[in-house]
Amino acid sequence: MTPNEENEIIERVLNGDRDAYAFLVDAYQSAIFNLVFRMTGSYQDADDLAQETFFRAYRNLGQFCPGKRFFTWLYTIALNLIRNHLKKQGRRMFRESQDFIKHRDGVVSETARRDPERIERNGIQTQKIDHLQICLQKLPADLREAVILRFYQDLSFVEIAAVSDASVSAVKMRVYRGIEKLKQLMGEDKM
């Protein structure tokens, strides 16, 4: 969705066309849901927090500055909710991985129907991905956040800096430290 389209929809919502907001939810639900899911590791939490993100964004839409990208603003809301949630819940370690595997399987089986050979080829890859997800949950929240935004969500360093209210150099450092720690954890777990 282009910034102009976003602004047009926001304009419509602010003028009373509440249903137009569904277009924004449709456009960003996957990104926000995945962000929350990777951060919390829980499908249920992802569902609740992603919903809450869109709900809060709707309520505060009047404060949104159209000069900025909507997704940046949405990510900021989502990250604040996630941070609060993680603080409340404390760090969760392994049970999330079960959730991931369960829902990853849904995606994999869908792909399998379309391209069975690919799944077979990627069998070992799938195990690695599960292992990665477990290790990801062991990362400190700030490093996990940086890694997820950079590599899962494919955001640029500048975008991550805008979303997480940090300097670009701090973000680069977090991403580097996060990925380094992740590699270390993955190596340790193999042993």
Partner 1 sequence: MEKFKDITDLIRNTPSVRPPGDFTRRVMGRIAGRERIRILSIKEFLTRPRRLGIGPVAAIRGSASGEECFFYFILTGFAHLTLAFVLFLGMKDLYGDVVGLGWLRVQPFIVLFLAGWFFIFGILLWRRHLAGLKAARIAIFIYLEIIVINGALPLIKFGKQLFLLPFWGLTVSCLIVGGYLALTLQRNFDRETMKIGTFKR
**For residue 132, what are its two tokens?**
């990665």
Q: Does 181 bind partner 1 (CB under 8 A)?
A: no
Per DSSP, helices labelled H in 41-140 are 43-59, 70-89, 95-114, 116-121, 123-136
Instruction: Express the helix, strand and coil content of the chain in percent, nearest 5 each.
Output: 85, 0, 15
Among 87, 91, 95, 128, interactor with partner 1 by CB under 8 A: 128
In the block, tokens 């869908």 appear at: 110
Q: Does 182 bind partner 1 (CB under 8 A)?
A: yes
Q: Does 189 bind partner 1 (CB under 8 A)?
A: no
Q: Name the E strands within the chain.
A: none
**For residue 48, what are its two tokens?**
């609740």
CB of residue 86 to partner 1, shortest distance in Å: 18
- Of residues 74, 45, 72, 47, the one with CA closest to residue 58: 74
Residues 71-90 binding partner 1 (CB under 8 A) are none
Residues 73 and 64 sit within 8 Å (Cβ to Cβ): yes
Q: How many chain residues are in contact with partner 1, going by CB under 8 A?
A: 55
Q: Does 17 bind partner 1 (CB under 8 A)?
A: no
Residues that bind partner 1 (CB under 8 A): 7, 11, 13-14, 16, 18-19, 21-22, 25-26, 29-30, 33-34, 37, 43, 46-47, 50-51, 54-55, 58-63, 65-67, 100, 103-104, 106-108, 111, 122, 125, 128-129, 132-133, 147, 151-152, 154, 176, 179-180, 182-183, 186
